[in-house]
Chains A and B, each alone.
Chain A
Amino acid sequence: EVQLVESGGGLVQPGGSLRLSCAASGLTFSIYSMNWVRQAPGKGLEWVSGISGSGGSTYYAASVKGRFTISRDNSKKTLFLQMNNLRAADTAVYYCAKAAGTAVNTHASDYWGQGTLVTVSS
């Protein structure tokens, strides 16, 4: 059974940093691209970033480009999101999602974690 467990969320001041992790189990992790998707309180879904199975290709939403960095450690079956220069607008539940294939741009996200809440506030 595929399981995705996010961690690393919390309260951070504007301008601060956080590193989210997503531990995967029950799958051959390196085969699949992975995504981060966030949901602000009471709002809809917003794709944040994606990374190919090998880690060689990364993609970012315009709203986070230059501030967030996605990476993965296939040996540890773990996905990361380094978030720098955080803003109030980044406050959201962050979901880790597994894609159904290797490429980020062609496969739907078929498994999702339960999410981790990031709150940016002074």
Chain B
Amino acid sequence: QSVLTQPPSASGTPGQRVTISCSGSSSNIGSDTVNWYQQLPGTAPKLLIYDDNQRPSGVPARFSGSRSGTSASLAISGLQSEDEADYYCAAWDDSLNGWVFGGGTKLTVL
């Protein structure tokens, strides 16, 4: 069981906007920033969002992140077929003294 809680699946049609939630506690999301990773099938994870809402160079503006209290969310607008992947949230946990991940959300583009 993961320390951060994500829905196991999400879906949308091309062009739609979808959001993926990530719930934690005061020792992780409540006190530290959240990062999001995208893992395409058969590949290594890729950093998608860091420090809650910052996009690394090359990540389209369609991807955005936010954090409030002990929860965070990833939003994908203008959904495209190539967005079909697993998405993971992560945060530093001050109690565990380590990084914790969500269980991952499998995004399906219908």
Residues of A within 8 A of B (CB): 35, 37, 44-47, 50, 59-62, 95, 97, 100, 105-106, 108-115
Contact = CB atoms under 8 A, between A and B. Distances in A.
Given A45-B39, A109-B37, 9 more contacts: A44-B102, A45-B101, A45-B104, A50-B99, A61-B98, A62-B96, A108-B50, A110-B56, A114-B44
Contacts of B32: 105
Interface of B: 2, 32, 35, 37, 39, 44-47, 50-51, 56, 86, 88, 90, 92, 96-104
A59 B97 contact: yes
B35 A108 contact: yes
Dominant secondary structure of chain B at its interface with chain A: strand
Contacts of A109: 35, 37, 45, 47
B47 A47 contact: no
Contacts of A62: 96, 98
B95 to A, nearest CB: 11
A104 to B, nearest CB: 8
A108 B90 contact: yes
22 contacts: A44-B88, A44-B102, A45-B39, A45-B104, A47-B90, A47-B98, A47-B101, A60-B98, A61-B98, A62-B98, A95-B44, A97-B45, A105-B92, A106-B92, A108-B50, A108-B90, A109-B47, A110-B47, A110-B50, A112-B44, A114-B44, A115-B44
B88 A112 contact: no
Nearest to B99: A47
Most buried by A among B39, B90, B98, B101: B98
Contacts of A114: 44
Contact of A108 (B47, B86, B96): B47
A14 B20 CA distance: 38
A50 B98 contact: yes
Contacts of A100: 50
A62 B90 CA distance: 17
A22 B99 CA distance: 20
Contacts of B51: 108
